[in-house]
Each structure stands twice: as structure tokens, then as C-alpha cells.
Amino acid sequence: MNVLRAVIYVRLSRTTESSTSLARQEASCRGYAERQGWTVLRVFQDSNVSGGEPPGERPALRELCENLSHYDVLLTWRADRIARSLIHFSSVIEACDTAGVRLVAIEDGWDMSTPHGRFAANVLASFAQFERELGRERTVSSQNHLRKTGRWAGGRVPYGLRPTPNTEGRGKILIRDDRAEPIVRELAERIIAGEAPTRIAADLQARGVPAPRVHNSTRPDPAPSAWTHKSIKIVMTSQTLLGHKIEHRTGKVICDNAGPVKFWPPMLTQEEFARIAQIIEDGYRPRRPNRPSHWLHGVVICGVCGRNMKRSQSSGAETFRCLGPLTEPHRSVSIKGDLLEGWFVAELRERLRNAPVVEHTYRAEVDLSDEIRRLRTYVAELLDDRRAGVFSTPEAVEVFRNEYRLASTRLETCERQPHKPGGWEMRAAAQSMWDAWNVWCPEERGSYLVGCQVRAVVSSPPRPRARVEAADRCVCDLGNLIVFDGARSE
């Protein structure tokens, strides 16, 4: 008779006097294996690891699951040593089934090789998951209660705010952060002055100014973080700088009948905030080039891999070239810069001969659904109060009529106003594109085309080193300017 090869798994969330120690778990499993005549080949143990962690995030259990094919039986003290979630527990059972391994929980008295054992295992795991979900519901309920009472419910603190003990009751509230205010003012002034966010981030990093994640962390030893273009964008486009609060479930600014509610003193004016948002998002015409490059950089695209073609010097001539990404290189695609530029500008002049300059502007969202619901409720409550006799005196009747008339008029106005989602849109300016083109420097021309998603797609010639005209292997994609294509109307 073949002796079954057994492996033992033990786990402990934290070491306390009341805990069942790892040594005791192992001893129980070894005793059971000895009585069954099995040979224990190895013991895997996870110490100070929660049972709620997925199997793939527990070092010992992950290694065990990867090597299950070396064993015949998996022994554990109790089922909750494997997992406390039905999903996680089922994944281990599936791994055992795939490897043909028998799972046994000795204290629970079941063997996964039998129908009764499998049924008992699923029931126990279901109860464990039920307990965790109840705890999660209690946590969510507590957080919602804190938010309703104006207190801080935990989580990441927006830059410009800091938690402090609530002087009017229990818990904590968020107040303005005096240390962050000068940084916000500096960012606003430098962005409005035209300085690139990437350069600002590098300067803040060099000066040792704590990045938002480090500055706002409530931990004594926060993880390292750096200022970046993205972090500056997140900070400077947050509605909290205007004193507004975001409703965590809808992601919208909290409003009342007078508009957005101000919970904190604003750090920026509405005009400054709108201008900064426009500058950060409006990348199609930068005030200054970041580095000297060909004005068509970002416009010329490889027709094979779709990547930007890079400028190079070939035999003294400026050339655009692409060899593909390092992981998937392809045959060289190249074209001389002067030939491409001549054809491309001529193509633009022909197809966009009557095009205006387009401007990218941000359109604010118009959504009065919350206001409509509030007004409908208010009108219904007025009518209920009138029927109940609340407005019984002549003076009260006059008050009712005025309130009802104002609310009804406001409701009709809101219902006629259609919902308009916010977003960026193009608007044609009065100036002709070619009048502006003659004034723009080459870098401004290229930036304008990149912002409008205009592309020159270059394909390979039919055979290497074949002399082919640019018009025969290049395609002009007008992107957002396609609506002004004169060739479409002919």
C-alpha cells in the first residue's frame, strides 16, 4: 500500500496568550497524520497574517498552492486557518481538486474527499464570510453617520485641509491647513504666469516640499511620494480649494437652494480656479517649448506601429524615423523632413483653406435634477400644509400664495432647462487659421496641430530605399479639424 504524502498548513493572525499557537496547530496535525499512517513532508506557516487576506497575498499559502502537485493530503487545524471568505476558501478547494489533493480539517471533523466534508466546509466558510460582511456593513454605517454629522470619516485628506478634534462633540473634523495655503498660492501664481507644471513639480521636489500624499498622511512613517504634473493637477482642480465638499456617493458638489455650499474659506477665487483649470487642460498651445525639437514632433506618426516618429540626422539631412518599440521592432520607416513638411503644409492649405482657428473651452455641467426634486417636494409640502389648515389666517394665506407662486415659477424654469453635461468643446474663433498660421512660430503651429489631433501618417515604401513621393505613402488625418475639410464638400 502506498503511503500518502501529507503537507501541513498553519496560520496565526497575531500572537497572544489566548491564541492557538502555531506549534499546537502543527502538533495536532502531525498526530492526526501519524494515526492515519501518512508521512508529513513539509509544514507551511503564515505568522501574523489575517485570514481575510487572499491566498495569493499570503507567502506560505501562495507557495503551498503553487506546489500542491507534490503532495496527496493537505492538513490544517481548522477551516478558518485556510480562509475566512467563501471566495478565497473556494479558490483553495479548486486548487486542491485540480492537483488531486485531499483537504482535511481535523478539529472541524471533516474530510474534503467525502460529500459530507465538502458540504460542511462550504457551510463553515459561508458563516465566516457572513460575519465579515456584517462587520463591513457596520463600518460603512459608521462612516455614513460621521459624514451626516459633519465629521471626518477617515480616508485620504484633500490637500489644503487637515483633521482636528471636534470641539463641539466627538470625532474629528476637517479644517483649513495653514501649512498648505502658501504652497497652493505659489502653485496658482506660477501656473497663471505660464510656468509648466512639470517644472514646478521638479522645483518643489528639489526644495524638499512634502508631496500631497506625504503632507496629508496620518501615518507616522508615510510611504515616499513625489510632486508630479498629475499631483499638481489633482490639487489645483479640487473643488475643496473653493471651500466646497464633494458628496462621496455621487461625486458631485454639495449644494442647497442658493448653490454650492461653502464648508471652508476658499483658497482661490472662482476666476483663478477656472483659469488654472483651463491652463492645465489646455495643452494644445503651450506658452513656451519644453525643449528644442522639430515643430512636427507629435504630428508625424508611424503607419506601421502608430508611434511618434523621431527626428534624426541622416547624411546631413533631417529625417523622421521609426524602428518600432524595443519589444516589437519592425523594419525602419523613414522620410526626409523637408519633403514631408512641404507636402504636409500644402495638404493642409488645400483641405483647410477656409478653416478658422478653433479654441478649446470648458463647458460647465448644467444639472438641475436635484433642484427640481427639492422644489417638487417643497410645493407638495406647501399644499399639504394648506389642506391641514396651517395657513388659516388672511396673513398666512398671503404668505402661502407668495411662496407657492415663487416655488412654482422656479420649478417651471428649472424643468424647461435641459441637462447639459460638462466637458471640453471646440469653438470656432473669428480669426482665420492661416492668418494665425502666418503669425505663429513653428512650435506654436505644431502645438496647435497636436491639440487638434491632426496627424501625418507615414507608411513604408513598397520596397527598401525606393524613391516614392510623400503624397503616395503619407496620409493627412485632420482629427478634430475634419469638419472644416474643404475636400469633403466638393
Question: 154: phi > 0 → left, psi -120 to 50 → alpha, else beta; which?
Answer: left
Domain identity same for 51 and 77: yes
pLDDT digits (tens, 9 = 90+) for 334-388: 888 889 999 999 999 999 988 998 887 777 777 888 888 888 888 888 888 888 8
Calculate the alpha carbon distances from 429 to 283, 432, 452, 478 in Å. 18, 8, 14, 18
pLDDT of residue 22: 87
CA-based nearest residue to 194, from 298, 292, 268, 285? 285
pLDDT digits (tens, 9 = 90+) for 255-298: 766 667 777 788 888 888 888 888 887 753 444 444 457 888 88
Domain identity same for 31 and 120: yes
Q: Which residue has the higher pLDDT, 40 or 93?
A: 40
pLDDT digits (tens, 9 = 90+) for 426-442: 788 888 999 989 999 98
Q: Which residue has the higher pLDDT, 167 or 233?
A: 233
Domain boundary among 221, 254, 281: 281
Residue 289 lies in a domain: no
Are 298 and 423 within 8 A, CB to CB? no
pLDDT band at residue 225 under the 50/70/90 scheme = confident
Q: Which residue has the higher pLDDT, 404 or 146?
A: 404
pLDDT band at residue 15 under the 50/70/90 scheme = low
Domain identity same for 374 and 355: no
Residue 291 lies in a domain: no
175-198: average pLDDT: 88
Quick check: 194 pLDDT over 80?
yes
Q: What cell does 168 get?
A: 463641539
pLDDT of residue 343: 93
Residue 288 lies in a domain: no
pLDDT of residue 52: 82
Domain count, the chain: 4
pLDDT of residue 421: 75
pLDDT of residue 284: 37
Instruction: Report the amino acid identity of residue 339.
Output: L
Question: What is the CB-side half-sphere exposure of residue 212 using CA atoms within 13 A?
Answer: 21
pLDDT of residue 60: 93
Domain identity same for 185 and 248: yes
Domain identity same for 469 and 353: yes
145-153: average pLDDT: 57
pLDDT of residue 17: 42
Are 242 and 270 within 8 A, CB to CB? yes
Its domain, for residue 35, covers: 5-133
CATH assignment of the domain containing 208: 3.90.1750
Calculate the average pLDDT of the chain.
82
166-171: average pLDDT: 71
Domain identity same for 60 and 44: yes
Could you give the CA distance from residue 306 to residue 478 in angstroms, rounded to a whole number? 16
pLDDT band at residue 65 under the 50/70/90 scheme = very high
Question: 324: phi > 0 → left, psi -120 to 50 → alpha, else beta; which?
Answer: left
Could you give the CA distance from residue 315 to residue 303 in angstroms, rounded to a whole number? 24
Domain identity same for 315 and 460: yes
Could you give the CA distance from residue 106 to residue 35 in angstroms, rounded to a whole number? 12
Residue 138 lies in a domain: no
pLDDT of residue 274: 86
139-143: average pLDDT: 63
Domain identity same for 229 and 172: yes
Question: 14: phi > 0 → left, psi -120 to 50 → alpha, else beta; which?
Answer: beta
Residue 243 lies in a domain: yes
Percent of the chain with pLDDT over 90: 19
Domain identity same for 318 and 451: yes
Long-range contacts made by residues 242-246, C-beta under 8 angstroms, separation at least 24? 242/266, 242/267, 242/268, 242/270, 242/273, 243/267
Domain boundary among 404, 420, 436: 420
> With helix as H, strand as E and coil as C, how does the chain read?
CCCCEEEEEEEECCCCCCCCCHHHHHHHHHHHHHHHCCEEEEEEEEECCCCCCCHHHCHHHHHHHHCHHHCCEEEECCHHHHCCCHHHHHHHHHHHHHHCCEEEECCCCEECCCHHHHHHHHHHHHHHHHHHHHHHHHHHHHHHHHHHCCCCCCCCCCCCEEEEECCCCCCEEEEECCCCHHHHHHHHHHHHCCCCHHHHHHHHHHCCCCCHHHHCCCCCCCCCCCCCHHHHHHHHCCHHHHCCCECCCCCCECEECCEECCCCCCCCCHHHHHHHHHHHHCCCCCCCCCCCCCCCCCCEEECCCCCECEEEEECCEEEEEECCCCCCCCCCEEEEHHHHHHHHHHHHHHHCCCCEEEEEEEECCECCHHHHHHHHHHHHHHHHHHHCCCCCCHHHHHHHHHHHHHHHHHHHHHHHCCCECCEEEEEEEEEEHHHHHHHCCHHHHHHHHHHCCCEEEECCCCCCCCCCCHHHHEEEECHHHHHHCCCCCC
Could you give the CA distance from residue 334 to residue 302 in angstroms, rounded to a whole number? 9
Quick check: 458 pLDDT over 90?
yes
Quick check: 143 pLDDT over 70?
no
CATH assignment of the domain containing 16: 3.40.50.1390
175-202: average pLDDT: 88
Q: What cell does 277 get?
A: 483649470
**Lowest-confidence segment of 30-44, 47-61, 214-228 by average pLDDT:** 214-228
223-242: average pLDDT: 86
Domain boundary among 420, 437, 460: 420
Residue 46 lies in a domain: yes
Q: Which residue has the cell 458638489?
A: 253
Domain identity same for 454 and 326: yes
Domain identity same for 344 and 316: yes
pLDDT digits (tens, 9 = 90+) for 300-313: 999 999 999 988 87
pLDDT of residue 8: 95
pLDDT of residue 90: 78
Domain identity same for 249 and 317: no
Quick check: 184 pLDDT over 50?
yes
pLDDT band at residue 468 under the 50/70/90 scheme = confident
Residue 293 lies in a domain: no
Residue 150 lies in a domain: no
pLDDT of residue 41: 93
pLDDT of residue 287: 45
Percent of the chain with pLDDT over 70: 86
pLDDT band at residue 249 under the 50/70/90 scheme = low
pLDDT band at residue 247 under the 50/70/90 scheme = low
pLDDT of residue 366: 76
